[in-house]
Structure 1
Amino acid sequence: MLSIVCPIYNEEKYISQCIDSLLQQDYPKEDLEILLVDGMSTDNTRTIVKQYSIKYPYIHLIDNPKKIVPCAMNIGIKNAKGNIIIRLDAHATYEKDYFSVLSRRLVELEADNVGVVCKTDVLNKSPKSLAIREVLGNKFGVGNSAFRTGINKVQEVDTVPFGCWRREVFDKYGMYDERLIRNQDIELSKRIIRGGGKIFIVPDTYCTYLAREKFSALAKNNYQNGKWNILTVYYTKQWSSLSIRHFVPMLFILSIIGPTLLSLIYKPFVLISIISLLSYIITLTLICIPLCIKKKLKFYYLLASFITLHFSYGWGSIIGIFKLFSIKN
């Protein structure tokens, strides 16, 4: 029995594409249940899901009054009947062999968690959204995360998106940490690894994540990601809950702000800020020009996408540090 748990909230733009991809799965439907755990959506999400559940009895809508993802996951896991559990995201679509590959590989590899590459796409294609899509799959944009940049063989990794677990993994390592509005999947993965567990990414299939298409939405999402990097470390008391790549944007922002403030005392410090910023702009330009030529993208949108991603993420982490003082007080 395979249980699919998918947290949702106000997903009317994406939920139909997501569910349609689940209906096409080659996994036996008599051994499948799909639990869509909704944070009390205020748009048409619930209506859409109910329409699917009437037609397909293995699709279920479950309420999540606390609204946030880790609560949705814990509700779903507790209600799940399956001995294998897969976590999905409504902002994505899944290849038809997604369920069968993950469940088979989980057993073959004797793993605690298995995932695949998550390709990035956009629902509505425009010069701006295509540039955002490119940045979210680029190493300079998202770091050395294997599930974003791609693989060609089975690898042991520190985390995967939309994982697949045996049910007993949650008894052994614990449920989702409900204090974490973001980073809850990464934190769980790190906890599994600290406990001696194994996490693998496999090249056999993939999913497609549908990214934000506006700079404002991109900035808002990554600002929250950056802020919760700091808060995740605070709540878990574990630096290993995250990886070094999660803190690089913050260090870059600090390399500009810090010397600028110090220059008020000793002016030459401002040179450090200038060098850091110029190095970033030059590097970014050298990365963007070949991408524009090769993939026929607009230079301005590509440059703006990188800058929006890095600065919003880094600034979020800095705000997260200040947030710690209000928590402690």
Structure 2
Amino acid sequence: MTTSANELYGSPEPKISVILPVLNESKYLEEAVKAVLDQDFGGEIEIILAIGPSNDGTEVIAQSLAKVDSRVVVVSNPSGRTASGLNLAVAASRYSIIVRVDGHSKIPKNYLSLAFEILKETGAVNVGGIMAAEGHTVFERGVARAMRSPLGVGASRFHTGGGAASVDTVYLGAFRKQALVAVGGFDERFTRAQDWELNFRLRAAGGTIFFDPRLVVTYRPRSTVKALAKQYFEYGRWRRVVSRRHEGTINYRYLAPPFTVIGVASSLILGAVVSPILFVPALVYALFILIASARIGKSLAEFVSLPLILLTMHMTWGIGFLTSPKSLAPAVTLRP
């Protein structure tokens, strides 16, 4: 499945629909939308905000943005679920290129023009780049460091970088709408991992998913241990759902956290019940956490916060993966 220049342009001038699924994003929404409106892209753009039932004034901000600039369109997403919001935004879009942006992310000025050129040059059906986590508080900066390190999240290019190449998945993405619609859009059964699952179906249909490190999106990490734990627990649960639904999609990187949980728990229990020598595996993991924190952290404050951050990310992802129920994603009909 390739993309011709005519399919991308669809008219004498390129046009892009930017879609944002939004729920409780009052803190960052205006900044995210402004970054899209300030693009150096030479063609037409529209911004479609799929607003879920928020309780922090997000909808008021969205409506205000739409009143100020006619390029901003607001649609309702009653369920508040990300996948359904994305599908509703796609259905409301008018143009042949769909660029996804999140309400808590920020794109650089050349993002749309660069994404357009990469789509045209590669013939890919989806292109994306680096999830550049940036925090403001000490804790957020520590999370950002962990998210951009192989010691925290493994070797995914969209986290840690690397050369331009065809990949399994990318962060957010700039899609050819025709290909996106042809595979049924985002699977609304998925609360998390919907990007990975969609990219699997796009690849299965013959499309190419392409990573280019020049595409950089600023991501705002979670600000508390509780929020981080919930995020990574859900990541683990839903990655297990993907592995059950699409056999052969698991590799060692995804199995590392659940095996770590099993190994550490077994070590602590057997060390207490059988022999202290069996504490060794847990102690080795603790040493790894300290060494990783020293390598990742760029300040004393970050080094102090990183052991808890790394432990939270690894353990909750692993526990989520191990406890993910088979009933988690009931059958639904994908939105055409």
Same fold, judged at TM 0.5 (above): yes
Say yes or no: does 1:148 pair with 2:148: no
Residue-by-residue CA offset, 1:118-137 (whole Å, 9 max, x unaligned): 21112xx2322221221111
Residue 87 of structure 1: how far off its partner (Å): 1.2
Report the 3-state secondary structure (helix = DSSP H, G, I; strand = E; otherwise coil) of the residue aligned with 1:75.
helix
For residues 1-329 of structure 1, the aligned pairs below 5 Å read 1-28=15-42, 31-122=44-135, 125-151=136-162, 153-234=163-244, 237-241=245-249, 243-258=251-266, 267=274, 274-292=279-297, 294-320=298-324, 323-324=325-326
- Counterpart Cα distance in 2 of 1:286 and 1:262: 25
For these two proteins, the number of residue pairs brought into alignment is 316
Residue-by-residue CA offset, 1:55-79 (whole Å, 9 max, x unaligned): 1101011001121111111111111
Structure 1 residues 288 and 166, CA gap change in structure 2 (3 angstroms): same
- Counterpart Cα distance in 2 of 1:327 and 1:70: 13
Structure 1 residues 327 and 298, CA gap change in structure 2 (3 angstroms): closer
Q: Percent identity?
A: 26
Residue 271 of structure 1: how far off its partner (Å): 5.1
Residue 250 of structure 1: how far off its partner (Å): 1.2
Structure 1 residues 297 and 150, CA gap change in structure 2 (3 angstroms): farther
For the aligned residues, what is the CA RMSD?
2.3
Unpaired runs of 5+ in structure 1? none
Unpaired runs of 5+ in structure 2? 1-14, 331-336
Structure 1 residues 325 and 38, CA gap change in structure 2 (3 angstroms): closer
Structure 1 residues 214 and 154, CA gap change in structure 2 (3 angstroms): same
Residue-by-residue CA offset, 1:95-150 (whole Å, 9 max, x unaligned): 0011111111101101111001121112xx23222212211111111100101112
Aligned residue identity for 2:264: I
Structure 1 residues 242 and 208, CA gap change in structure 2 (3 angstroms): farther
Contact 2:28 2:104 in 1 (8 A): yes
- Counterpart Cα distance in 2 of 1:146 and 1:24: 27
Residue 50 of structure 1: how far off its partner (Å): 0.9
- Counterpart Cα distance in 2 of 1:324 and 1:168: 32
Residue 239 of structure 1: how far off its partner (Å): 3.0
Contact 1:187 1:242 in 2 (8 A): no
Aligned residue identity for 1:324: K
TM-score under structure 1 length normalisation: 0.89
